[in-house]
């Protein structure tokens, strides 16, 4: 028997990419009314951080801002891309196409990037987010999934063994059957890693830290 407390404890300690992967898989088992209810709950929780993330949200959905995020070899740029993916609107196809070109450029420089745990986690999170994001087409998601598999091969020694065994496989479904997921932002080396659930004040402080870090790197 699986106990709720054990599942919650296990989920709480997962790195960001695994949390996103697990939640996106889980929602595919929900019926439509459950999805609507969960969407309402997530929307209410997201309102708490709206003030702190509003500027970042605008930048993440601005084509002119995204044209500045082209140097994928730079750690600060990769962190910004992660934030951008979490705040990108599901219907913003102009920006998603720009992001697709930028992210697929990573393939040509993967072998030249530093081989360490920080870079491995950043790349894993980048392609996990993009593979699941509803703003991308099914073809784009498949391309991202192939890149995620390549990341796991090149950086396998720096990634948790559990994730290396099986990379995402459910994203080849017709686009109409893809279901939207929600992800919670947190701040660490790669912006999202393994955050714990915090009170409203702590959540707001976390969001303000992310916003401050993003703006500081933009200067």
Predicted pLDDT of residue 196: 40
Overall pTM surpassing 0.75 (yes/no): no
Sign of CA dihedral 100, 212, 151, 18: negative
Predicted confidence (pLDDT) per residue in 24-49, tens digit = 999 999 999 999 999 999 999 988 88
**Longest CA–CA separation in the chain, Å:** 52
Task: Give me the residues of the chain with pLDDT under 50, please.
Answer: 163-200, 204, 219
CA nearest neighbour of 77 among 53, 51, 46, 109 = 109
DSSP state of 196: P
DSSP state of 197: P
Contact 136, 100 (CB under 8 A): yes
Provide the token pair at 128. Answer: 């996990």
Predicted pLDDT of residue 57: 94
Predicted pLDDT of residue 103: 94
Phi, psi angle pair for 183, to nearest 5°: -130, 145
Sign of CA dihedral 20, 25, 30, 31: positive
- What lies within 8 Å, CB to CB, of 19 at 6+ separation is 11, 183, 184, 192, 194
Predicted confidence (pLDDT) per residue in 79-117, tens digit = 999 999 999 999 999 999 999 999 998 888 888 899 899
């Amino acid at each position: 028997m699986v106990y709720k407390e054990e599942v919650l404890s296990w989920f709480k300690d997962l790195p960001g990419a695994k949390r996103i992967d697990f939640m996106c898989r889980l929602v595919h088992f929900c019926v439509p009314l459950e999805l609507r209810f969960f969407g309402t709950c997530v929307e209410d929780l997201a309102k708490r951080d709206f003030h702190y993330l509003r500027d970042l949200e605008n930048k993440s959905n601005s084509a002119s801002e995204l044209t500045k995020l082209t140097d994928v070899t730079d750690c600060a740029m990769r962190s910004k891309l992660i934030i951008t993916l979490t705040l990108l609107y599901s219907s913003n196809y102009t920006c998603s196409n720009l992001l697709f070109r930028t992210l697929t450029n990573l393939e040509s420089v993967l072998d030249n990037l530093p081989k360490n745990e920080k870079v491995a986690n950043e790349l894993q999170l980048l392609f996990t987010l993009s593979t699941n994001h509803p703003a991308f087409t099914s073809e784009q998601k498949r391309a991202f999934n192939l890149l995620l598999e390549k990341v796991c091969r090149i950086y396998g020694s720096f990634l948790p063994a559990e994730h290396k065994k099986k990379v995402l496989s459910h994203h080849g479904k017709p686009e109409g059957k893809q279901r939207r997921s929600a992800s919670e932002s947190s701040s660490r080396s790669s912006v999202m890693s393994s955050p714990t659930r915090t009170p409203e004040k702590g959540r707001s402080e976390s969001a303000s830290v992310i916003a401050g870090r993003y703006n500081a790197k933009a200067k």
